């Protein structure tokens, strides 16, 4: 339910018709959603995969799902917020499904000020999800509290499938000496909303200064996640590249608080993007450090044993850092980011311990919802295991 990309080789995800660049160059698809989809499939044991479309209700689609499939899962994402509008057919589809419907790592987003207020539609839909599963798998404590306030108490905090994509219950982050770090990936997010950010100017100027500082010290790659203008700069025609530069430099926020001559040059020389999840996995594996503003880009690095530091700027990033005890810099703090303050093995030992616990939470979530999976128990690696035929 709500996939993000096309599936190939059983459990790998890439954007639709990814080789046809012009087909989607004007469309902002957040490849982070594809990370979650890809990672979810890598955790599950399944023979067949299909999509239950919820844009409109079709009886034949629901009948086929009820007759031929064991469960439906909702790909994890930031669905619980005050601007969420569900597709037209969602409630009717949910009401007609007779098989379990699993919410797989979903999250809530708080506004920059005030309390989160959900629509009556959202309240009904989340109650329907809760009624159709043993537990809801949620991102963290804040999301659990939001659902609890709605009377939905069958929740389990699991974090995000991306953290567990390599199915290693004993994954650790062990820091090398900082002076050995050479190749660094920076996960970029220059788009920002005043609805979620209490201080857009601070957000953008801190972002700019951080990118420049890291790029002076290390061999950096600026890792984008699907923004239209950056895709045009990388892959567009000469006309599209010119359009992209104009759009970036005519935006009042970016013009005043983000772009300058040095960042322009970094954009010309160090941008990177791919529509294929496996390409992201390969690039984070090649880095000594990945850090920055992208929640799933950083989590992809950690899941592959690459150190990462989060930059917290809204409730979503703060919740992720809390759920996994990831070292995290508050973008709105009174002091600038200093990498040395986070290059501390004791901080990452907190992540190592918490990851071990969250891995068990995710595994128990799948077990209690009777979902076949490929997550070995923490003790299963002690003795050789044979694959089932």
Look at residue 208 and tell me if it is in a domain.
Answer: yes
Torsion sign, CA atoms 301, 307, 309, 314: positive
Query: Which structural domain range is residue 265 located in?
Result: 178-344
Of the two residues 385 and 179, the one the predictor is more confident about is 179
Residue 289 backbone class (left: φ over 0; alpha: ψ -120 to 50; beta: rest): beta
* Selection from 278, 300, 323, 295 nearest residue 155 by Cα: 323
DSSP string, 154-203: -EEE---GGGGTT--TT-------GGG--EEEEE------TTT-S-HHHH
CA gap 28, 26 in Å, rounded: 7
pTM: 0.94
Domain identity same for 56 and 120: yes
Domain identity same for 163 and 107: yes
Domain identity same for 194 and 71: no
The three-class DSSP label of residue 150 is: coil
Domain identity same for 334 and 253: yes
Average per-residue pLDDT for the chain: 94
Of the two residues 64 and 195, the one the predictor is more confident about is 64
Q: What percent of the chain has pLDDT over 90?
A: 92
pLDDT given at position 145: 96
CA gap 23, 19 in Å, rounded: 9
Of the two residues 149 and 380, the one the predictor is more confident about is 149
pLDDT given at position 388: 38
Q: Average pLDDT for residues 56-64, to the nearest whole number?
A: 96
pLDDT given at position 385: 43
CA 282 to chain centre: 17
Domain identity same for 318 and 224: yes
Q: Average pLDDT for residues 84-100, to the nearest whole number?
A: 96
Domain identity same for 296 and 340: yes
pLDDT in tens, 21-34: 999 999 999 999 99
Q: Average pLDDT for residues 146-152, to the nearest whole number?
A: 96
Domain identity same for 35 and 150: yes
Domain identity same for 339 and 207: yes
Look at residue 1 and tell me if it is in a domain.
Answer: no
Domain identity same for 145 and 245: no
Look at residue 226 and tell me if it is in a domain.
Answer: yes
Output phi, psi for 105, to 5 deg.
85, 45
CA gap 152, 135 in Å, rounded: 10
Look at residue 133 and tell me if it is in a domain.
Answer: yes
pLDDT given at position 146: 95
**What percent of the chain is helix, strand and coil (3-state, nearest 5)?**
45, 15, 40
Domain count, the chain: 2
pLDDT given at position 380: 52
pLDDT in tens, 260-283: 999 999 999 999 999 999 999 999
Domain identity same for 182 and 141: no
Look at residue 387 and tell me if it is in a domain.
Answer: no
C-beta atoms surrounding 197 within 10 Å: 17
In contact, 57 and 93? CB cutoff 8 Å: yes
Return the CATH number at 316: 3.40.50
The three-class DSSP label of residue 266 is: helix
Strands 6-8 and 12-14: antiparallel
Look at residue 350 and tell me if it is in a domain.
Answer: no
Look at residue 309 and tell me if it is in a domain.
Answer: yes
In contact, 105 and 36? CB cutoff 8 Å: yes
Alpha-carbon distance values, 208 to 2, 211, 229, 246, 328 (Å): 34, 5, 17, 19, 18
Domain identity same for 335 and 207: yes
Torsion sign, CA atoms 185, 186, 188, 190: negative
The three-class DSSP label of residue 312 is: strand
Q: Which residues of 116-126 are buried (b: 16+ CB within 10 A; e: fewer)?
A: bebeeebebbb
Look at residue 389 and tell me if it is in a domain.
Answer: no
In contact, 220 and 270? CB cutoff 8 Å: yes
pLDDT at 113 over 80: no
pLDDT in tens, 284-326: 999 999 999 999 999 999 999 999 999 999 999 999 999 999 9
Domain identity same for 46 and 111: yes
pLDDT at 365 over 90: yes
């Amino acid at each position: 339910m709500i996939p993000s990309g096309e599936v190939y080789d059983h459990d790998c995800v890439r954007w639709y018709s990814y080789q046809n660049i012009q087909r989607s160059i004007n469309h902002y698809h957040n490849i982070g959603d594809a990370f979650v989809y890809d990672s979810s499939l890598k955790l599950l044991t399944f023979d067949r995969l299909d999509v239950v479309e919820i844009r409109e209700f079709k009886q034949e689609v629901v009948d086929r799902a009820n007759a031929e499939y064991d469960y439906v899962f909702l790909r994890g994402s930031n669905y619980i917020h005050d601007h969420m509008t569900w597709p037209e057919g969602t409630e009717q589809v949910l009401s007609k499904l007779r098989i379990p419907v699993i919410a797989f790592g979903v999250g809530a987003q708080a506004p920059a000020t005030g309390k989160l207020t959900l629509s009556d539609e959202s309240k009904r839909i989340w109650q329907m999800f809760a009624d159709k599963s043993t537990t809801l798998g949620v991102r963290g404590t804040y999301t659990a509290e939001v659902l609890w306030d709605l009377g939905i108490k069958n929740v389990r905090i699991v974090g995000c499938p991306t953290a567990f994509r390599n199915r290693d219950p004993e994954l650790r982050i062990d820091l090398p000496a900082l002076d050995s770090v050479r190749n660094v990936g920076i996960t970029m997010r220059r788009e920002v909303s005043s609805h979620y950010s209490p201080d857009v100017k601070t957000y953008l100027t801190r972002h700019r200064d951080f990118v420049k500082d890291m790029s002076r010290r290390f061999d950096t790659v600026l890792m984008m996640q699907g923004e239209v203008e950056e895709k045009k700069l990388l892959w567009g025609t000469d006309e599209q590249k010119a359009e992209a530069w104009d759009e970036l430099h005519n935006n009042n926020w970016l013009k005043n608080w983000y772009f300058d001559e040095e960042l322009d040059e970094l954009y010309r020389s160090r941008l990177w993007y791919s529509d294929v999840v496996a390409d992201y996995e390969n690039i984070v594996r090649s880095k000594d450090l990945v850090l920055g503003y992208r929640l799933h880009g950083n989590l992809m690095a950690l899941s592959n044993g690459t150190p990462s530091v989060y930059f917290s700027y809204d409730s979503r990033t703060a919740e992720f850092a809390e759920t996994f005890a990831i070292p995290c810099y508050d973008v709105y703090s009174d002091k600038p980011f200093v990498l040395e303050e986070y290059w501390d093995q004791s901080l990452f030992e907190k992540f190592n311990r918490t990851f071990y616990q969250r891995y068990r939470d995710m595994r128990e979530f799948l077990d209690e919802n009777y979902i076949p999976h490929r997550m070995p128990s923490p003790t299963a690696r002690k003795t050789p295991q044979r694959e089932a035929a």
